[in-house]
């Protein structure tokens, strides 16, 4: 197999952009081109002002600055990039289906299939095709069937190389991954990809498996991580009625080396583009094999997460004397976690939706999320008209403006800056009694209570 000189990645999103930027930074002798059909997104990746990159991730601007124009290119010319590449990563979105069979559960693979068909139509030389997107187990079979039936005589090798980065720490995770997983059938193709990662990842952290184990492991990793969050969130409700403190319980159980301390932080519920989508996908796959007990088991992780979001909103309503109609509730945070501008499946959206049903007035402040995005997220739910969303929700750029005259503050994202606000000033400007509902267990109860706030935190 010839040495890999040119790599193309189809999909310049939260995964394709950062992942391939790091590959380019670490492999200066390889030319990396990231393509996307979204011209605005590609223009933003090419923007000379690095503050305008379409994905916000700490440290990403430096990586892009080091490689862009040297061996890292962003383009909308998908055909050209396919034609020239030795290796093609497919990193397009695989959202939950919103129509037809498997609606609401199965992964929508139309974007993946379109990529495969485009590669099949354009390629005139042998290619290694790498699944970077998260896919249902056995998707490689479908890709292979499309690619092997072109009649062009071109050889395609398919690898699975799921991405484990978490948003907000993407660059750190990519530079120093716990492991890199490569699944495949062809030893030379696997070696070609191992050699790329070996530029910076210790060899013992690069593990190789068969295709199906690799595809399935990605879904399972996300299911296990989400399961831990739902497990501790289930316990948070029990803590609230028994006088136990969920942070103390997390610490106590996390020191058992078999359990471990990570991912035991109770919250208003997990969000993000992956956990829910990937578990639903796992549930769907289990059901298609008639494994109903398996499907029911994993589905419970989602049901508990939905319950946690509803429970948080209902506690606000109940505490505010059973009505929030016309009351101003300030949201600190809209992103699904700190250090990202991503709002996909953020708990904030669902908590807001619940409060808006009760005609609350919601004022949102998030350091990285635009007003346009907030309205887009609410409109997407289709619960009420876009006009009603704009009437009830205001998005501001100053946190003190958000909380001024508010009946209550709800902390939905754990942005560090919230801890350092002048809480005394905030208290002075709020309605009395002044309620804080901390969905992230971020703020200091003692400090807030001393200032006279009525402070409620998950799991306490």
DSSP state of 97: P
Binding partner selected for residue 133 from ligand NAD, ligand UDX, none, CB under the kind-specific 5 to 8 Å limit: ligand NAD
- What's the rounded Cα separation, in Å, for the pair 111 and 255? 43
- 310: CB partners within 8 A, 6+ apart: 350, 354
Q: Per the residue annotation, which of 97, 132, 218, 441 is the catalytic one?
A: 218
Distance CA 364, CA 352 (A): 10
What is the distance between the alpha carbons of residues 188 and 202, in angstroms, rounded to a whole number?
Answer: 19
Lookup: tokens for 363: 């004022």
Q: Does 264 bind ligand UDX (CB under 6 A)?
A: yes
Which residue in the shown chain puts its C-beta closest to ligand NAD? 13
For the question of residue 163 being annotated catalytic, the response is yes
Cα–Cα distance between 289 and 285 in angstroms, integer?
7
Task: Decide if residue 15 touches ligand NAD (CB under 6 A).
Answer: yes
Contact call for residues 374 and 346 (beta carbons, < 8 A): no
Which of 41, 68, 132, 265 lies at the binding interface for ligand UDX (CB under 6 A)?
A: 265
Which among ligand NAD, ligand UDX, none contacts residue 97 (Cβ within 5 to 8 A by kind)?
Answer: none
Stretch that binds ligand NAD, among 35-43, 382-390, 405-413, 446-454 (CB under 6 A): 35-43
Which of the stretches 60-68, 70-78, 164-172, 415-423 binds ligand UDX when contact is defined by CB under 6 A? 164-172
- Choose among 15, 318, 394, 310: nearest CA to 174: 15
Choose which of 71, 134, 233, 404 interacts with ligand NAD (CB under 6 A). 134
Contact (CB, 8 A) for 441 and 458: yes
Which range of residues in 7-15, 236-244, 317-325, 447-455 is near ligand NAD by CB under 6 A?
Answer: 7-15
Neighbours of 418 (CB within 10 A): 21
State how far the alpha carbon of 219 is from the alpha carbons of 107, 135, 328, in Å: 11, 8, 40
Kindly tell me which of 1 and 220 has the beta carbon lying closer to ligand UDX: 220
**Taking CB within 5 to 8 Å according to partner kind, which of ligand UDX, ligand NAD, none is near residue 12?**
ligand NAD
Q: Which stretch binds ligand UDX (CB under 6 A): 42-50, 189-197, 221-229, 280-288?
A: 221-229
Q: Which residues, 273 to 292, sit near ligand NAD by CB under 6 A?
A: 273-274
Interface residue with ligand UDX among 13, 272, 367, 459 (CB under 6 A) is 272
Where do the DSSP E strands lie in 147-242?
A: 156-160, 180-184, 206-209
Task: Establish if 38 lies at the interface with ligand NAD (CB under 6 A).
Answer: yes
| 8 Å CB contact between 337 and 170 | no
Q: Does 211 bind ligand UDX (CB under 6 A)?
A: no
**Under the rule (CB under 6 A), what is the footprint of ligand UDX?**
163-167, 222, 225, 229, 263-265, 267, 270-272, 274-275, 336-337
Active site residues: 163, 218, 274
């Amino acid at each position: 197999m010839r040495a890999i000189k040119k790599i193309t990645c189809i999909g310049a999103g939260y995964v394709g952009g950062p992942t391939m930027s790091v590959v380019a930074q670490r492999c200066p002798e390889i030319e990396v081109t990231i393509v996307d059909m979204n011209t605005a997104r590609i223009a933003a990746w090419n923007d000379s002002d690095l503050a305008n990159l379409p994905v916000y991730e700490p440290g990403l601007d430096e990586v892009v600055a080091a490689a862009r124009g040297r061996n890292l290119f962003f383009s909308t010319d998908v055909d050209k990039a396919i034609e020239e590449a030795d290796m093609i990563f497919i990193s397009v979105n695989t959202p939950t289906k919103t129509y037809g069979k498997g609606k609401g559960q199965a992964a929508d693979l139309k974007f993946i299939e379109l990529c495969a068909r485009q590669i099949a139509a354009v390629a005139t030389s042998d290619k290694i095709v790498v699944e970077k997107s998260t896919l249902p187990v056995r998707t490689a079979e479908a890709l292979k069937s499309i690619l092997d039936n072109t009649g062009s005589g071109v050889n395609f090798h398919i690898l699975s190389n799921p991405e484990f980065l978490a948003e907000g720490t993407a660059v750190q995770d990519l530079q120093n991954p716990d492991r890199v997983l490569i699944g495949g059938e062809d030893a030379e193709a696997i070696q070609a990809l191992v050699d790329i990662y070996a530029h910076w990842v210790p060899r013992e952290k690069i593990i190789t498996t068969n295709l199906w184990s690799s595809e399935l492991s990605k879904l399972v990793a996300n299911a296990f991580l989400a399961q831990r969050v739902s497990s501790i969130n289930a316990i948070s409700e029990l803590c609230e009625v028994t006088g136990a403190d969920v942070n103390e319980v997390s610490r106590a159980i996390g020191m058992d080396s078999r359990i471990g301390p990570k991912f035991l932080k109770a919250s208003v519920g997990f969000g993000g583009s992956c956990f829910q989508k990937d578990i639903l996908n796992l549930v769907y796959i289990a059901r298609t094999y008639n494994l109903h007990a398996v499907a029911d088991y994993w589905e419970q992780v989602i049901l508990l997460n939905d319950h946690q979001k509803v429970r948080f909103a209902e506690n606000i309503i109940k505490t505010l004397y059973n009505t929030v109609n016309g009351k101003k509730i300030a949201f600190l945070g809209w992103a699904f976690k700190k250090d990202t501008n991503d709002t996909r499946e953020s708990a904030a959206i669902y908590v807001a939706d619940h409060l808006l049903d009760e005609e609350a007035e919601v004022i949102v402040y998030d350091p990285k999320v635009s007003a346009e995005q907030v309205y887009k997220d609410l409109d997407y739910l289709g619960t009420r008209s876009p006009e009603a969303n704009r009437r009830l929700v205001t998005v501001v750029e100053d946190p003190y403006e958000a909380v001024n005259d508010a009946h209550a503050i709800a902390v939905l994202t754990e942005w560090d800056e919230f801890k350092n606000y002048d809480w005394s000033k905030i208290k002075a400007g709020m309605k009395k009694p002044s309620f804080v509902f901390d969905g992230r267990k971020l703020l200091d109860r003692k400090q807030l209570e001393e200032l006279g706030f009525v402070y409620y935190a998950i799991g306490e």
